[in-house]
Amino acid sequence: MNRGRFAPSPSGDLHVGNLRTAILAWIWAHATGRSFVIRVEDIDRVRPGAAERQLADLAAIGLDWDGPVLYQSTRAQAHEDAVANLTERGMLFECYCSRRDIREAASAPHILPGHYPGTCLNLSEAERAHKRAKLAAQGRGPALRLLAPVNEWTIHDELHGSVTGPVDHVVVRRGDGTPAYNLAVVVDDAFQGVDQVVRGDDLLSQAPAQACLASLLGLPEPTFVHVPLALAPTGARLAKRDGAVTLTDLHGLGWSTGDVVDWIGQSLGVDGARKSTGRSTRTASDLAKVLTVDRLRALPATPWIVTPPAEARP
């Protein structure tokens, strides 16, 4: 079971950058002899109707997938089992910090930016009981963090090569009792037979911790492909507020779905195909014919700067 995947969070409509990543994941899977699955990561930030619209947009640009879509919220038992496994092996510790506590403590000069400052690592039982009671009084519980036996892990990425990064004390279960993204993604990729993870390079920094978690849970580590993100002209990550960047917005300006795929194709350097054949790349399959594995591996690491069209297409 060798599979690639796309795993959107149903927090809103997909924009052209997300669609480009999905196309790349689909092409990369097929070009390397894999099938392709979809997982809707609906354990956080769910907007009603968004998952259905995302799936419809993916189908509209020509993507298809093996078997039924997996909804991550149906996997709660498997996530709990993984947490129990790590707990029994003494690999987790309770963390009572709020986001603010962590922000404040993490600004100390000896803490790497974005890293857990270690506040709850070495507390006495009495201190734990006190902090637990304080949280309980606010109707909250502790989060569970990983006590990894190593500080760093090395992953293989098709575009970035060998990447060694910190494992840190990633959260595996949040204070509200729900599984954390980093745990769920690892457990569910393995469950779906995913051995190739193509996604935006904003998640590259999470990959070493995820691969380490997989290994600790006795699950295979996937190979990774972190592709460049789409950015707004300001240099910020592309977002819906930047203008007409979703399929629905662009349809509203008179673009066809084929026009949008063609635009994504141009961003991937397949404009030449149109010039030589006179034919535009109108669906994901058209792009797949041009984007061989060698071409994919040579993709520049630079982001796609998206200038949303301001006016209706003539």
Binding-site ranges for ligand GLU (CB under 6 A): 7-9, 41, 185, 199, 203
**Paired tokens of 127:** 């201190």
Is the Cβ of residue 30 or residue 132 nearer to ligand GLU in the bound state?
Answer: 30
* Least distance (Å) between residue 213 CB and ligand GLU: 12
How far from 237 is each of 90, 203, 305, CA to CA, in Å?
38, 13, 9
Is the Cβ of residue 41 or residue 168 nearer to ligand GLU in the bound state?
Answer: 41
Is the Cβ of residue 97 or residue 186 nearer to ligand GLU in the bound state?
Answer: 186
Q: In this structure, what is the dihedral angle of CA atoms 126, 127, 133, 136, given to the nearest 10 degrees?
A: -140
Dihedral of alpha carbons 75, 81, 85, 88, sign: positive
Q: How far is CA 191 from the centre of its chain?
A: 17
Is the Cβ of residue 41 or residue 158 nearer to ligand GLU in the bound state?
Answer: 41
* Least distance (Å) between residue 226 CB and ligand GLU: 10
* Least distance (Å) between residue 203 CB and ligand GLU: 6
CA distance 249 to 260: 11
H/E stretch holding 92 reads strand 92-95
CB-nearest residue to ligand GLU: 199
* Least distance (Å) between residue 15 CB and ligand GLU: 12
Is the Cβ of residue 135 or residue 209 nearer to ligand GLU in the bound state?
Answer: 209
Do 170 and 213 meet the contact criterion of CB atoms below 8 Å apart? yes
DSSP H helices, 113-159, are 125-137
Is the Cβ of residue 111 or residue 203 nearer to ligand GLU in the bound state?
Answer: 203
* Least distance (Å) between residue 136 CB and ligand GLU: 31
How far from 154 is each of 157, 183, 187, 245, CA to CA, in Å?
10, 18, 19, 35
* Least distance (Å) between residue 18 CB and ligand GLU: 8
